[in-house]
Amino acid sequence: MAETIHKHELGRGERIVPGVFRLRLPLPWPGVPHCNAWAVSAGDGVVLFDTGMHQPGSVAHLERALEMCDLRIEDVRLVVCTHAHSDHYGQAATVVERAGCELWMHPNYEHMTHWATDTDAAIARRLEVARQSGVPEEPLRRYAEQRRDHDSGIAALVKPDRALLPGVTVATDLGAWTVHETPGHAPSHVCLFQPERRLLISGDHLLGRISLYFDYGYSPDPVGEFVHSLDVVERLGARLCLPGHGRTFTDVHAHIEGNRDLVRSRTERVLGAISGGELRTAFEIVPEIYDDVRLSAMTAPWLLTETLSFLLHLEVTGRAVRSPGEGGAELWQAA
């Protein structure tokens, strides 16, 4: 199955406040129809926060969105990525080359280079995790075949010219933006904050519609890191959030609380599923955790990754233990 952008979806650009433009770019993913890049005026050009994905036709979508704001790719003076997922970083190489500008990004982007440089090895690693989780061989084989046909969504691997770490500031006409590490969704995730205007570029850390995603396998406890990152962002006191997907929103605190509640209830649910006395694989408990989501080839890998992230979080916090089972599977029970 080739990933193609829906024909009726077009890149669109709109001004949010003076000097801040939302570029809404289409994605080929079911349930996630588009992502946002943000252009912020800076001198005779703009700083581009995130880039959209690299896909057939995607450069034209970016150009169209910029044009609606009276901008061109050549006006970009700096590319800043909130994190190294393909929908936020995929077009970075294209923009950096055409605009002749720098890329700034957090140094923990190894989770992306796997997919961009050695897709087969990245798939093999994911299959190994799935096997440990107790996924049967047949769906695994189908997943591997499907995944091999997909391209990475990344134009080319381009390394950051500058490490986006606390202390670095991004200069724009609206003032300087400060950098805040917010791992959890991805190890490379940062949020950018403009203190005088209290604007937050939140990437995928905070979205208008509360939904969780964790990059599993690249850090000790993605769920715990995500919860800590919610505290980090709460302290900033943002007034307007410019998220990586969907519309801007002002009730930032309520979104932070919503995420905390969801993490709490999922953690309890996963703990409940392994508290019955029997040893269980991650795969076995997925349908109990997400009784409201239909399991499909599309949703299963994502739900399994999330369940594993919660099991790991329970283990790290001393509430679950794992033991080896048959065929390399890992079995879980409450501590």
Interaction site with Zn ion (CB under 5 A): 85, 87, 204, 244
Tell the smallest beta-carbon distance from residue 185 to Zn ion (Å).
6
Round to whole Å and give the CA distance between 28 and 4.
5
Strand partners, 65: none
Residue whose CB is less far from Zn ion, 17 or 32? 32
Residue with tokens 């309890």: 268
Contact 4, 149 (CB under 8 A): no
* Strand ranges of the sheet holding 175-181, from the earlier edge strand across to the other edge: 169-172, 175-181, 190-194, 199-203, 240-243
3-state SS assignment for residue 130: helix
Give the 3-state DSSP-derived string for 271-282, with helices as H, strands as E and coil as C: HHHCCCCCCECH
Contact 245, 32 (CB under 8 A): yes
In order of 12, 178, 226, the CA distances from 260 in angstroms are: 32, 24, 9
Q: Which residue is nearest to Zn ion (CB)?
A: 85
Tell the smallest beta-carbon distance from residue 74 to Zn ion (Å).
25
Residue whose CB is less far from Zn ion, 94 or 202? 202
Round to whole Å and give the CA distance between 26 and 33.
6
Residue whose CB is less far from Zn ion, 85 or 180? 85
Residue whose CB is less far from Zn ion, 77 or 189? 189
Residue whose CB is less far from Zn ion, 160 or 244? 244
Residue whose CB is less far from Zn ion, 185 or 322? 185
Residue whose CB is less far from Zn ion, 11 or 244? 244
Tell the smallest beta-carbon distance from residue 29 to Zn ion (Å).
9
Tell the smallest beta-carbon distance from residue 167 to Zn ion (Å).
24
**Of residues 11, 90, 22, 82, the one with CA closest to residue 51:** 90
3-state SS assignment for residue 207: coil
Tell the smallest beta-carbon distance from residue 141 to Zn ion (Å).
27
Q: Which residues contact 133 (CB under 8 A, 6 or more apart)?
A: 281, 282, 283, 304, 307, 308, 329, 330
Tell the smallest beta-carbon distance from residue 43 to Zn ion (Å).
28
Tell the smallest beta-carbon distance from residue 272 to Zn ion (Å).
28
Give me the count of residues in the chain.
335
Tell the smallest beta-carbon distance from residue 148 to Zn ion (Å).
22
Angle of helix 300-316 relative to helix 137-149, nearest 10 degrees, comes to 110
Residue whose CB is less far from Zn ion, 75 or 204? 204
Round to whole Å and give the CA distance between 41 and 62.
17
